[in-house]
Protein backbone atom coordinates (compact mmCIF):
# COMPACT_ATOMS: atom_id res chain seq x y z
CA UNK A 1 0.00 0.00 0.00
CA UNK A 2 1.41 3.35 -0.97
CA UNK A 3 1.73 5.86 1.84
CA UNK A 4 0.03 9.15 1.07
CA UNK A 5 0.56 12.74 1.62
CA UNK A 6 -1.84 14.33 3.79
CA UNK A 7 -0.64 12.82 6.89
CA UNK A 8 1.47 15.93 7.00
CA UNK A 9 -0.90 18.58 5.87
CA UNK A 10 -3.68 18.87 8.44
CA UNK A 11 -1.29 18.11 11.24
CA UNK A 12 0.49 21.41 10.77
CA UNK A 13 -2.68 23.30 11.47
CA UNK A 14 -4.37 20.82 13.80
CA UNK A 15 -1.26 20.72 15.99
CA UNK A 16 -1.12 24.50 15.97
CA UNK A 17 -4.74 24.77 17.04
CA UNK A 18 -3.49 25.23 20.60
CA UNK A 19 -0.40 27.33 19.99
CA UNK A 20 -2.03 30.69 20.60
CA UNK A 21 -2.43 29.96 24.30
CA UNK A 22 1.32 29.53 24.60
CA UNK A 23 2.23 32.56 22.50
CA UNK A 24 0.41 35.64 21.28
CA UNK A 25 -0.83 35.27 17.68
CA UNK A 26 1.52 36.70 15.12
CA UNK A 27 -0.55 39.76 14.28
CA UNK A 28 0.81 43.27 13.95
CA UNK A 29 -0.65 45.40 16.73
CA UNK A 30 0.02 48.69 18.48
CA UNK A 31 -0.07 49.49 22.18
CA UNK A 32 -1.11 53.10 21.67
CA UNK A 33 -4.38 54.21 20.14
CA UNK A 34 -4.24 57.08 17.66
CA UNK A 35 -6.56 58.62 15.14
CA UNK A 36 -5.55 56.06 12.51
CA UNK A 37 -6.32 53.00 14.65
CA UNK A 38 -9.25 50.66 14.68
CA UNK A 39 -10.22 48.43 17.58
CA UNK A 40 -8.63 45.29 16.15
CA UNK A 41 -5.20 46.97 15.89
CA UNK A 42 -4.94 47.74 19.61
CA UNK A 43 -3.13 45.36 21.94
CA UNK A 44 -3.42 46.99 25.38
CA UNK A 45 -6.50 47.36 27.58
CA UNK A 46 -5.93 51.04 28.43
CA UNK A 47 -5.44 52.06 24.81
CA UNK A 48 -8.52 50.09 23.79
CA UNK A 49 -10.74 51.73 26.38
CA UNK A 50 -9.80 55.19 25.17
CA UNK A 51 -10.20 54.52 21.45
CA UNK A 52 -12.89 54.78 18.82
CA UNK A 53 -13.00 52.43 15.87
CA UNK A 54 -11.75 54.26 12.78
CA UNK A 55 -13.98 52.43 10.31
CA UNK A 56 -17.29 52.31 12.17
CA UNK A 57 -16.97 55.17 14.63
CA UNK A 58 -18.03 52.76 17.40
CA UNK A 59 -16.58 52.65 20.88
CA UNK A 60 -13.76 50.15 21.43
CA UNK A 61 -14.24 47.53 24.15
CA UNK A 62 -11.59 45.43 25.88
CA UNK A 63 -12.49 41.73 26.24
CA UNK A 64 -10.23 39.83 28.59
CA UNK A 65 -9.61 36.11 28.66
CA UNK A 66 -7.27 33.97 30.73
CA UNK A 67 -6.98 31.00 28.40
CA UNK A 68 -6.71 32.60 24.97
CA UNK A 69 -5.50 36.03 23.83
CA UNK A 70 -7.51 39.00 25.07
CA UNK A 71 -8.67 41.38 22.38
CA UNK A 72 -10.02 44.79 21.54
CA UNK A 73 -13.27 44.87 19.56
CA UNK A 74 -16.19 47.16 18.92
CA UNK A 75 -19.09 47.22 21.37
CA UNK A 76 -21.31 45.38 18.90
CA UNK A 77 -18.70 42.70 18.36
CA UNK A 78 -18.32 42.23 22.11
CA UNK A 79 -21.96 41.17 22.31
CA UNK A 80 -21.23 38.17 20.11
CA UNK A 81 -18.28 36.80 22.07
CA UNK A 82 -19.04 33.60 23.96
CA UNK A 83 -20.20 33.98 27.55
CA UNK A 84 -17.97 32.14 29.95
CA UNK A 85 -14.83 32.82 27.95
CA UNK A 86 -14.42 36.58 27.59
CA UNK A 87 -14.96 39.22 30.28
CA UNK A 88 -15.76 42.40 28.34
CA UNK A 89 -15.87 45.97 29.64
CA UNK A 90 -19.17 47.06 31.13
CA UNK A 91 -19.48 49.56 28.28
CA UNK A 92 -20.77 46.71 26.18
CA UNK A 93 -24.56 46.55 26.20
CA UNK A 94 -24.63 43.09 27.75
CA UNK A 95 -23.57 42.01 31.23
CA UNK A 96 -19.91 41.06 31.40
CA UNK A 97 -19.30 37.33 31.62
CA UNK A 98 -16.86 35.81 34.10
CA UNK A 99 -13.30 35.21 32.99
CA UNK A 100 -12.57 31.61 32.17
CA UNK A 101 -11.02 29.80 35.13
CA UNK A 102 -7.30 29.94 35.74
CA UNK A 103 -7.23 26.14 35.89
CA UNK A 104 -8.65 25.99 32.37
CA UNK A 105 -5.99 28.44 31.26
CA UNK A 106 -3.32 26.20 32.75
CA UNK A 107 -4.82 23.17 30.99
CA UNK A 108 -4.80 24.97 27.65
CA UNK A 109 -1.19 26.04 28.12
CA UNK A 110 -0.14 22.52 29.09
CA UNK A 111 -1.85 20.97 26.08
CA UNK A 112 -0.40 23.69 23.88
CA UNK A 113 3.12 22.83 25.02
CA UNK A 114 2.58 19.18 24.14
CA UNK A 115 1.19 20.05 20.72
CA UNK A 116 4.12 22.36 20.06
CA UNK A 117 6.51 19.53 20.85
CA UNK A 118 4.55 17.17 18.60
CA UNK A 119 4.68 19.67 15.76
CA UNK A 120 8.42 20.10 16.21
CA UNK A 121 8.84 16.34 16.11
CA UNK A 122 6.94 16.23 12.87
CA UNK A 123 9.08 18.94 11.29
CA UNK A 124 12.51 17.73 12.28
CA UNK A 125 14.65 15.69 9.94
CA UNK A 126 17.85 16.05 7.96
CA UNK A 127 16.85 16.49 4.37
CA UNK A 128 19.78 16.90 2.02
CA UNK A 129 20.07 20.18 0.18
CA UNK A 130 20.42 20.38 -3.57
CA UNK A 131 21.86 23.18 -5.63
CA UNK A 132 19.26 24.49 -8.04
CA UNK A 133 20.19 24.32 -11.69
CA UNK A 134 19.05 26.57 -14.49
CA UNK A 135 16.89 24.27 -16.59
CA UNK A 136 16.39 24.58 -20.29
CA UNK A 137 13.23 26.66 -20.51
CA UNK A 138 11.22 25.75 -23.58
CA UNK A 139 8.57 28.41 -23.10
CA UNK A 140 8.51 31.92 -21.67
CA UNK A 141 5.53 34.18 -22.33
CA UNK A 142 3.62 37.05 -20.76
CA UNK A 143 -0.16 37.52 -20.76
CA UNK A 144 -2.05 40.71 -19.95
CA UNK A 145 -5.42 40.40 -18.19
CA UNK A 146 -6.53 43.98 -17.86
CA UNK A 147 -4.91 45.38 -14.72
CA UNK A 148 -2.98 42.17 -14.05
CA UNK A 149 -0.06 40.82 -16.03
CA UNK A 150 1.04 37.23 -15.53
CA UNK A 151 3.76 35.17 -17.15
CA UNK A 152 4.64 31.56 -17.82
CA UNK A 153 7.91 29.64 -17.99
CA UNK A 154 8.23 25.91 -18.38
CA UNK A 155 8.00 23.19 -20.94
CA UNK A 156 7.44 19.55 -21.75
CA UNK A 157 8.64 16.87 -19.36
CA UNK A 158 10.44 13.85 -20.80
CA UNK A 159 8.08 10.87 -20.64
CA UNK A 160 10.82 8.60 -19.34
CA UNK A 161 10.83 10.62 -16.12
CA UNK A 162 7.32 9.55 -15.09
CA UNK A 163 4.68 7.39 -16.81
CA UNK A 164 6.98 6.29 -19.63
CA UNK A 165 4.45 3.90 -21.16
CA UNK A 166 1.77 6.53 -21.70
CA UNK A 167 1.50 8.31 -25.05
CA UNK A 168 0.12 11.46 -23.42
CA UNK A 169 2.19 14.58 -22.94
CA UNK A 170 3.38 16.06 -19.67
CA UNK A 171 4.28 19.68 -18.89
CA UNK A 172 5.61 21.49 -15.86
CA UNK A 173 6.64 25.01 -15.04
CA UNK A 174 5.63 28.24 -13.37
CA UNK A 175 2.92 30.83 -13.66
CA UNK A 176 4.17 34.22 -12.46
CA UNK A 177 1.29 35.90 -10.63
CA UNK A 178 3.14 39.08 -9.69
CA UNK A 179 0.73 41.90 -8.97
CA UNK A 180 -2.79 41.24 -7.76
CA UNK A 181 -5.90 42.85 -6.39
CA UNK A 182 -4.33 42.68 -2.92
CA UNK A 183 -0.76 43.89 -3.43
CA UNK A 184 0.55 45.10 -6.78
CA UNK A 185 4.15 44.75 -5.58
CA UNK A 186 3.95 41.11 -4.58
CA UNK A 187 5.73 38.33 -6.46
CA UNK A 188 4.24 34.86 -6.67
CA UNK A 189 5.35 31.97 -8.87
CA UNK A 190 3.12 28.90 -8.81
CA UNK A 191 4.59 25.56 -9.83
CA UNK A 192 2.43 23.00 -11.64
CA UNK A 193 2.91 19.53 -13.07
CA UNK A 194 0.42 18.45 -15.72
CA UNK A 195 -0.28 15.11 -17.39
CA UNK A 196 -2.55 14.27 -20.26
CA UNK A 197 -4.75 11.24 -19.76
CA UNK A 198 -3.63 7.76 -20.69
CA UNK A 199 -6.57 7.28 -23.04
CA UNK A 200 -6.24 7.05 -26.81
CA UNK A 201 -7.65 10.56 -27.20
CA UNK A 202 -7.00 12.83 -24.20
CA UNK A 203 -8.87 15.67 -25.91
CA UNK A 204 -12.13 13.86 -25.16
CA UNK A 205 -11.40 13.52 -21.45
CA UNK A 206 -12.12 16.07 -18.71
CA UNK A 207 -9.52 18.08 -16.79
CA UNK A 208 -8.90 17.93 -13.03
CA UNK A 209 -7.20 20.59 -10.93
CA UNK A 210 -5.88 18.85 -7.80
CA UNK A 211 -5.28 20.84 -4.63
CA UNK A 212 -3.43 19.66 -1.57
CA UNK A 213 -4.34 21.22 1.74
CA UNK A 214 -2.27 21.88 4.82
CA UNK A 215 -2.42 24.77 4.42
CA UNK A 216 1.14 24.80 3.14
CA UNK A 217 1.51 21.30 1.68
CA UNK A 218 2.57 20.35 -1.82
CA UNK A 219 0.30 18.81 -4.44
CA UNK A 220 3.42 17.31 -6.00
CA UNK A 221 3.56 14.94 -3.04
CA UNK A 222 0.00 13.83 -3.76
CA UNK A 223 1.00 13.18 -7.36
CA UNK A 224 3.81 10.91 -6.19
CA UNK A 225 2.03 9.17 -3.31
CA UNK A 226 -1.69 9.12 -4.10
CA UNK A 227 -3.27 9.57 -7.50
CA UNK A 228 -0.53 10.54 -9.94
CA UNK A 229 0.83 8.42 -12.81
CA UNK A 230 3.98 7.44 -10.93
CA UNK A 231 5.30 7.04 -7.41
CA UNK A 232 8.82 7.25 -6.03
CA UNK A 233 10.81 4.09 -5.42
CA UNK A 234 11.94 3.24 -1.91
CA UNK A 235 15.46 4.51 -2.54
CA UNK A 236 14.25 7.93 -3.69
CA UNK A 237 16.17 7.65 -6.95
CA UNK A 238 13.43 7.23 -9.54
CA UNK A 239 9.78 6.48 -10.24
CA UNK A 240 7.55 3.48 -10.83
CA UNK A 241 4.15 3.50 -12.60
CA UNK A 242 0.90 3.79 -10.68
CA UNK A 243 -1.79 1.68 -12.35
CA UNK A 244 -4.55 3.55 -10.50
CA UNK A 245 -3.59 7.06 -11.52
CA UNK A 246 -6.48 9.43 -12.08
CA UNK A 247 -4.89 10.10 -15.46
CA UNK A 248 -6.50 6.82 -16.54
CA UNK A 249 -9.64 8.87 -17.17
CA UNK A 250 -8.65 12.53 -16.97
CA UNK A 251 -6.05 15.13 -17.76
CA UNK A 252 -4.74 16.37 -14.40
CA UNK A 253 -2.94 19.47 -13.08
CA UNK A 254 -1.23 19.14 -9.69
CA UNK A 255 -0.73 22.70 -8.41
CA UNK A 256 1.59 23.80 -5.61
CA UNK A 257 -0.10 26.78 -3.99
CA UNK A 258 0.07 29.29 -2.38
CA UNK A 259 3.57 30.75 -2.85
CA UNK A 260 6.13 29.04 -0.65
CA UNK A 261 4.59 25.58 -1.07
CA UNK A 262 6.59 22.84 -2.77
CA UNK A 263 8.53 24.29 -5.68
CA UNK A 264 6.38 27.46 -5.72
CA UNK A 265 8.09 30.58 -4.45
CA UNK A 266 7.64 34.30 -3.93
CA UNK A 267 5.72 36.52 -1.54
CA UNK A 268 4.13 34.30 1.10
CA UNK A 269 1.41 36.66 2.27
CA UNK A 270 -1.72 34.70 1.33
CA UNK A 271 -3.80 34.20 4.47
CA UNK A 272 -7.38 33.52 3.38
CA UNK A 273 -9.46 31.96 0.66
CA UNK A 274 -10.22 35.23 -1.10
CA UNK A 275 -6.53 35.54 -1.89
CA UNK A 276 -6.21 31.85 -2.75
CA UNK A 277 -9.21 31.98 -5.07
CA UNK A 278 -7.98 35.08 -6.88
CA UNK A 279 -4.52 33.70 -7.56
CA UNK A 280 -5.74 30.26 -8.60
CA UNK A 281 -8.27 31.82 -10.98
CA UNK A 282 -5.52 33.72 -12.75
CA UNK A 283 -3.35 30.61 -12.73
CA UNK A 284 -6.09 28.83 -14.69
CA UNK A 285 -6.46 31.76 -17.07
CA UNK A 286 -2.74 31.67 -17.81
CA UNK A 287 -2.63 27.88 -18.12
CA UNK A 288 -5.38 27.96 -20.72
CA UNK A 289 -3.69 30.78 -22.62
CA UNK A 290 -0.48 28.78 -22.67
CA UNK A 291 -2.21 25.51 -23.56
CA UNK A 292 -5.39 26.47 -25.46
CA UNK A 293 -6.01 22.85 -26.46
CA UNK A 294 -7.24 22.20 -22.91
CA UNK A 295 -9.30 25.36 -22.44
CA UNK A 296 -12.67 23.89 -23.43
CA UNK A 297 -12.38 20.71 -21.40
CA UNK A 298 -14.84 20.12 -18.57
CA UNK A 299 -12.98 21.21 -15.43
CA UNK A 300 -13.31 19.47 -12.06
CA UNK A 301 -11.64 21.16 -9.09
CA UNK A 302 -10.79 18.63 -6.38
CA UNK A 303 -9.22 19.33 -2.98
CA UNK A 304 -8.28 17.10 -0.09
CA UNK A 305 -8.09 17.94 3.63
CA UNK A 306 -7.63 21.73 3.93
CA UNK A 307 -8.52 21.58 0.26
CA UNK A 308 -12.02 21.57 1.72
CA UNK A 309 -11.38 25.30 2.07
CA UNK A 310 -9.31 25.74 -1.08
CA UNK A 311 -11.44 23.89 -3.61
CA UNK A 312 -14.79 25.60 -2.85
CA UNK A 313 -13.09 29.02 -2.82
CA UNK A 314 -11.30 28.48 -6.14
CA UNK A 315 -14.34 26.92 -7.79
CA UNK A 316 -16.52 29.78 -6.54
CA UNK A 317 -14.08 32.41 -7.82
CA UNK A 318 -14.02 30.64 -11.18
CA UNK A 319 -17.82 30.55 -11.23
CA UNK A 320 -18.00 34.27 -10.46
CA UNK A 321 -15.41 34.96 -13.15
CA UNK A 322 -17.59 33.21 -15.69
CA UNK A 323 -20.62 35.21 -14.58
CA UNK A 324 -18.90 38.55 -15.11
CA UNK A 325 -16.33 37.68 -17.75
CA UNK A 326 -13.97 40.54 -18.52
CA UNK A 327 -12.31 41.27 -21.85
CA UNK A 328 -9.27 39.11 -22.46
CA UNK A 329 -10.34 36.37 -20.05
CA UNK A 330 -11.39 32.87 -21.00
CA UNK A 331 -14.69 31.29 -20.01
CA UNK A 332 -13.66 28.28 -17.93
CA UNK A 333 -15.83 25.21 -18.40
CA UNK A 334 -16.36 24.53 -14.70
CA UNK A 335 -18.18 21.23 -14.35
CA UNK A 336 -17.64 19.97 -10.83
CA UNK A 337 -16.25 20.34 -7.33
CA UNK A 338 -14.80 17.47 -5.32
CA UNK A 339 -13.84 17.50 -1.62
CA UNK A 340 -12.01 14.53 -0.10
CA UNK A 341 -11.82 14.20 3.70
CA UNK A 342 -11.98 17.96 3.80
CA UNK A 343 -12.52 20.68 6.36
CA UNK A 344 -15.27 22.86 4.91
CA UNK A 345 -17.80 23.73 7.63
CA UNK A 346 -15.95 23.68 10.98
CA UNK A 347 -19.04 24.66 12.97
CA UNK A 348 -20.70 21.41 11.93
CA UNK A 349 -17.63 19.20 11.72
CA UNK A 350 -16.15 19.96 15.13
CA UNK A 351 -19.34 18.62 16.66
CA UNK A 352 -18.37 15.08 15.58
CA UNK A 353 -14.84 14.62 16.90
CA UNK A 354 -15.95 13.12 20.20
CA UNK A 355 -18.26 10.65 18.47
CA UNK A 356 -15.61 9.64 15.94
CA UNK A 357 -13.16 9.05 18.77
CA UNK A 358 -15.52 6.79 20.73
CA UNK A 359 -18.52 5.70 18.64
CA UNK A 360 -17.11 5.21 15.13
CA UNK A 361 -18.38 2.57 12.71
CA UNK A 362 -15.34 0.36 13.37
CA UNK A 363 -16.07 0.01 17.07
CA UNK A 364 -12.61 1.32 17.99
CA UNK A 365 -12.53 3.18 21.31
CA UNK A 366 -9.63 5.55 20.69
CA UNK A 367 -10.10 7.33 24.02
CA UNK A 368 -11.47 6.31 27.41
CA UNK A 369 -15.09 6.92 28.34
CA UNK A 370 -13.99 9.65 30.73
CA UNK A 371 -12.03 11.47 28.01
CA UNK A 372 -14.95 11.03 25.62
CA UNK A 373 -17.25 12.73 28.13
CA UNK A 374 -14.75 15.57 28.54
CA UNK A 375 -14.63 16.05 24.77
CA UNK A 376 -18.43 16.09 24.61
CA UNK A 377 -18.76 18.64 27.40
CA UNK A 378 -16.20 20.93 25.75
CA UNK A 379 -17.91 20.77 22.36
CA UNK A 380 -20.75 23.31 22.87
CA UNK A 381 -18.35 26.10 23.82
CA UNK A 382 -16.05 25.15 20.94
CA UNK A 383 -18.96 25.43 18.51
CA UNK A 384 -20.03 28.74 20.02
CA UNK A 385 -16.54 30.13 19.51
CA UNK A 386 -16.49 28.90 15.90
CA UNK A 387 -19.83 30.58 15.29
CA UNK A 388 -18.48 33.81 16.78
CA UNK A 389 -15.48 33.54 14.47
CA UNK A 390 -17.80 33.30 11.48
CA UNK A 391 -19.93 36.20 12.72
CA UNK A 392 -17.01 38.58 13.34
CA UNK A 393 -14.39 37.18 10.94
CA UNK A 394 -11.45 38.70 12.83
CA UNK A 395 -8.12 36.94 13.27
CA UNK A 396 -8.14 37.38 17.06
CA UNK A 397 -11.52 35.72 17.50
CA UNK A 398 -10.89 32.96 14.97
CA UNK A 399 -7.51 32.09 16.48
CA UNK A 400 -9.13 31.94 19.92
CA UNK A 401 -11.61 29.40 18.56
CA UNK A 402 -8.72 27.47 17.06
CA UNK A 403 -6.92 27.46 20.38
CA UNK A 404 -9.80 26.29 22.56
CA UNK A 405 -11.13 23.65 20.17
CA UNK A 406 -7.67 22.28 19.55
CA UNK A 407 -6.85 21.98 23.22
CA UNK A 408 -10.10 20.33 24.31
CA UNK A 409 -11.57 18.64 21.23
CA UNK A 410 -8.70 17.25 19.13
CA UNK A 411 -5.73 17.08 21.51
CA UNK A 412 -7.23 14.26 23.62
CA UNK A 413 -7.08 12.03 20.56
CA UNK A 414 -3.43 12.88 19.94
CA UNK A 415 -2.65 11.76 23.48
CA UNK A 416 -3.81 8.25 22.53
CA UNK A 417 -0.77 7.72 20.29
CA UNK A 418 -3.00 6.66 17.42
CA UNK A 419 -2.67 7.96 13.89
CA UNK A 420 -5.12 10.88 13.47
CA UNK A 421 -5.45 10.02 9.78
CA UNK A 422 -6.32 6.38 10.40
CA UNK A 423 -7.81 5.23 13.70
CA UNK A 424 -6.74 1.64 12.96
CA UNK A 425 -3.04 2.47 13.19
CA UNK A 426 -0.47 3.59 15.72
CA UNK A 427 1.30 6.81 14.88
CA UNK A 428 4.77 5.45 15.61
CA UNK A 429 7.96 7.46 15.47
CA UNK A 430 7.80 8.74 11.89
CA UNK A 431 7.27 12.45 11.39
CA UNK A 432 3.56 13.04 11.79
CA UNK A 433 2.96 9.27 11.48
CA UNK A 434 4.24 8.91 7.89
CA UNK A 435 7.66 8.68 6.27
CA UNK A 436 8.09 10.69 3.06
CA UNK A 437 11.88 10.80 3.10
CA UNK A 438 12.16 8.99 -0.25
CA UNK A 439 9.95 11.60 -1.92
CA UNK A 440 11.85 14.46 -0.32
CA UNK A 441 15.14 12.97 -1.47
CA UNK A 442 13.85 12.51 -5.02
CA UNK A 443 12.43 16.01 -5.38
CA UNK A 444 15.68 17.56 -4.15
CA UNK A 445 17.85 15.81 -6.73
CA UNK A 446 19.41 18.17 -9.27
CA UNK A 447 18.28 15.83 -12.03
CA UNK A 448 14.67 16.02 -10.83
CA UNK A 449 14.66 19.80 -10.61
CA UNK A 450 16.16 20.00 -14.08
CA UNK A 451 13.61 17.62 -15.58
CA UNK A 452 10.71 19.57 -14.04
CA UNK A 453 11.95 23.01 -15.15
CA UNK A 454 12.42 24.18 -11.58
CA UNK A 455 13.98 27.64 -11.78
CA UNK A 456 17.07 28.75 -9.90
CA UNK A 457 14.92 31.30 -8.02
CA UNK A 458 13.28 28.38 -6.23
CA UNK A 459 16.50 27.76 -4.36
CA UNK A 460 15.24 26.30 -1.11
CA UNK A 461 15.08 22.64 -0.19
CA UNK A 462 11.80 21.01 -1.24
CA UNK A 463 9.78 20.02 1.82
CA UNK A 464 6.45 18.30 2.14
CA UNK A 465 4.79 21.19 3.96
CA UNK A 466 5.79 24.78 4.71
CA UNK A 467 4.97 25.63 8.30
CA UNK A 468 5.39 29.37 7.72
CA UNK A 469 2.65 29.27 5.08
CA UNK A 470 0.54 27.21 7.44
CA UNK A 471 0.68 29.84 10.15
CA UNK A 472 -0.47 32.53 7.73
CA UNK A 473 -3.90 30.87 7.58
CA UNK A 474 -4.53 30.78 11.34
CA UNK A 475 -7.45 33.18 11.01
CA UNK A 476 -8.95 31.23 8.09
CA UNK A 477 -9.12 27.77 9.65
CA UNK A 478 -12.49 28.07 11.40
CA UNK A 479 -14.29 29.91 8.59
CA UNK A 480 -17.21 28.23 6.84
CA UNK A 481 -16.97 27.71 3.07
CA UNK A 482 -20.10 25.60 2.70
CA UNK A 483 -22.10 28.57 1.30
CA UNK A 484 -19.76 28.56 -1.71
CA UNK A 485 -20.66 24.91 -2.27
CA UNK A 486 -24.37 25.79 -2.12
CA UNK A 487 -23.97 28.51 -4.76
CA UNK A 488 -22.28 26.07 -7.10
CA UNK A 489 -24.79 23.27 -6.52
CA UNK A 490 -27.71 25.66 -7.08
CA UNK A 491 -26.26 26.54 -10.48
CA UNK A 492 -25.96 22.94 -11.60
CA UNK A 493 -22.27 22.43 -10.83
CA UNK A 494 -21.62 18.86 -9.74
CA UNK A 495 -20.53 18.34 -6.14
CA UNK A 496 -18.96 15.24 -4.61
CA UNK A 497 -17.99 15.06 -0.93
CA UNK A 498 -16.16 11.84 -0.11
CA UNK A 499 -14.52 10.63 3.08
CA UNK A 500 -12.66 7.55 4.21
CA UNK A 501 -14.36 6.14 7.29
CA UNK A 502 -11.15 5.49 9.25
CA UNK A 503 -10.01 9.11 9.31
CA UNK A 504 -10.35 10.98 12.59
CA UNK A 505 -9.19 14.45 11.70
CA UNK A 506 -11.66 15.15 8.85
CA UNK A 507 -13.97 12.28 9.58
CA UNK A 508 -16.89 10.99 7.56
CA UNK A 509 -19.38 11.78 10.34
CA UNK A 510 -18.70 15.51 10.24
CA UNK A 511 -18.48 15.59 6.47
CA UNK A 512 -21.79 13.82 6.05
CA UNK A 513 -23.38 16.10 8.65
CA UNK A 514 -22.47 19.30 6.81
CA UNK A 515 -23.53 17.78 3.49
CA UNK A 516 -26.97 17.10 5.00
CA UNK A 517 -27.08 20.52 6.64
CA UNK A 518 -26.14 22.45 3.49
CA UNK A 519 -28.76 25.02 2.54
CA UNK A 520 -29.27 24.56 -1.17
CA UNK A 521 -32.24 24.24 -3.50
CA UNK A 522 -32.52 20.46 -3.28
CA UNK A 523 -31.60 19.91 0.35
CA UNK A 524 -34.90 18.20 1.12
CA UNK A 525 -34.65 15.83 -1.83
CA UNK A 526 -31.02 14.93 -1.11
CA UNK A 527 -31.70 14.29 2.56
CA UNK A 528 -34.64 12.06 1.68
CA UNK A 529 -32.46 9.75 -0.43
CA UNK A 530 -31.18 6.46 0.98
CA UNK A 531 -27.54 5.49 1.32
CA UNK A 532 -26.70 2.78 -1.20
CA UNK A 533 -23.74 0.50 -1.77
CA UNK A 534 -21.32 1.56 -4.50
CA UNK A 535 -19.06 -1.17 -5.90
CA UNK A 536 -18.99 -2.87 -2.48
CA UNK A 537 -16.50 -0.21 -1.42
CA UNK A 538 -18.64 2.45 0.18
CA UNK A 539 -22.02 4.02 0.80
CA UNK A 540 -23.25 6.68 -1.58
CA UNK A 541 -26.12 9.14 -1.26
CA UNK A 542 -26.95 11.12 -4.38
CA UNK A 543 -29.61 13.42 -5.73
CA UNK A 544 -29.06 14.39 -9.35
CA UNK A 545 -25.37 15.38 -9.32
CA UNK A 546 -24.87 16.13 -5.61
CA UNK A 547 -23.03 13.24 -3.97
CA UNK A 548 -21.84 12.14 -0.55
CA UNK A 549 -19.68 9.02 -0.43
CA UNK A 550 -18.45 7.17 2.64
CA UNK A 551 -15.46 5.05 1.62
CA UNK A 552 -14.91 1.83 3.55
CA UNK A 553 -11.52 0.93 5.02
CA UNK A 554 -9.88 4.20 4.04
CA UNK A 555 -8.27 6.87 6.14
CA UNK A 556 -7.59 10.52 5.39
CA UNK A 557 -6.08 9.77 1.97
CA UNK A 558 -8.62 7.74 0.02
CA UNK A 559 -6.60 7.45 -3.23
CA UNK A 560 -3.73 5.93 -1.23
CA UNK A 561 -5.76 3.57 0.95
CA UNK A 562 -8.29 2.50 -1.69
CA UNK A 563 -6.63 3.32 -5.05
CA UNK A 564 -8.79 1.11 -7.26
CA UNK A 565 -12.01 2.31 -5.66
CA UNK A 566 -10.98 5.97 -5.80
CA UNK A 567 -10.30 5.66 -9.53
CA UNK A 568 -13.76 4.18 -10.09
CA UNK A 569 -15.24 6.92 -7.91
CA UNK A 570 -13.70 9.81 -9.85
CA UNK A 571 -14.58 8.19 -13.17
CA UNK A 572 -18.23 7.90 -12.14
CA UNK A 573 -18.33 11.47 -10.88
CA UNK A 574 -16.96 12.86 -14.15
CA UNK A 575 -18.99 10.78 -16.58
CA UNK A 576 -20.81 12.70 -19.27
CA UNK A 577 -24.34 11.99 -18.04
CA UNK A 578 -26.93 14.16 -16.34
CA UNK A 579 -27.01 11.91 -13.27
CA UNK A 580 -24.13 10.10 -11.58
CA UNK A 581 -23.82 7.13 -9.20
CA UNK A 582 -27.12 5.67 -10.37
The whole-angstrom separation of Cα 339 and Cα 360 is: 21
Q: Which of 37, 305, 560, 566 is catalytic?
A: 305
Q: Which of 503, 545, 560, 561 is catalytic?
A: 503
Whether 121 sits among the annotated catalytic residues: the reply is no
Among candidates 449, 506, 493, which has minimal Cα distance to 133? 449
Q: Read out DSSP for 398-454?
A: HHHHHHHHIIIIIHHHHTTTEETTEEEEE--SSGGG---HHHHHHHTSHHHHHHTT-
Among candidates 357, 360, 362, 376, which has minimal Cα distance to 415? 357
Whether 456 sits among the annotated catalytic residues: the reply is no
Helices 273-290 and 307-323 pack at an angle, to 10 degrees, of 60
Other C-beta atoms closer than 10 Å to the C-beta of 459 total: 13
Contacts of 140 (CB under 8 A, 6+ apart): 151, 152, 153
426 and 414 Cβ atoms separated by less than 8 Å: no
The whole-angstrom separation of Cα 179 and Cα 365 is: 51
Whether 279 sits among the annotated catalytic residues: the reply is no
247 and 196 Cβ atoms separated by less than 8 Å: yes
Contacts of 389 (CB under 8 A, 6+ apart): 397, 398, 400, 401, 478, 479
217 and 10 Cβ atoms separated by less than 8 Å: no
Q: Which of 249, 309, 316, 556 is catalytic?
A: 556
Helices 369-392 and 395-405 pack at an angle, to 10 degrees, of 170
Among candidates 382, 375, 383, which has minimal Cα distance to 356? 375
Residues counted in the chain: 582
- Measured at the alpha carbon of residue 232, what is the angle toward residues 231 and 238, in degrees to the nearest 5? 120
Long-range contacts of 371-377 (CB under 8 A, 24+ apart): 371/412, 371/415, 374/408, 374/412, 375/408, 375/409, 375/412
Question: What positions carry a catalytic annotation?
Answer: 305, 503, 556
Amino acid sequence: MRISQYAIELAFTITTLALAAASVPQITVTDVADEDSNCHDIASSDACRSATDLESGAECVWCECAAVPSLCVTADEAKGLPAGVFNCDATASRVASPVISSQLAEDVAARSTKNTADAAHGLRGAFGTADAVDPKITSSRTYNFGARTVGHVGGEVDKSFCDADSSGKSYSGYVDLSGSAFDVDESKNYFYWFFESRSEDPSKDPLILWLTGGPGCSSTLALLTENGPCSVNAEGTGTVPNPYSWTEHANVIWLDQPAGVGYSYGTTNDKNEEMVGEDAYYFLQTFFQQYPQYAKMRLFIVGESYGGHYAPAIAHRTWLGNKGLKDGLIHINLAGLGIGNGLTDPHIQYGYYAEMAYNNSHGIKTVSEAVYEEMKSATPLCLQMIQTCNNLKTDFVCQSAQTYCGAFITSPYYASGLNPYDIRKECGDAALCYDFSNVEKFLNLDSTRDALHVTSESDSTWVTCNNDVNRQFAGDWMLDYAPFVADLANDGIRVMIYAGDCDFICNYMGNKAWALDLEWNHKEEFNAEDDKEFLDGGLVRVFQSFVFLQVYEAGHMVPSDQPEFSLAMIKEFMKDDIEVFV
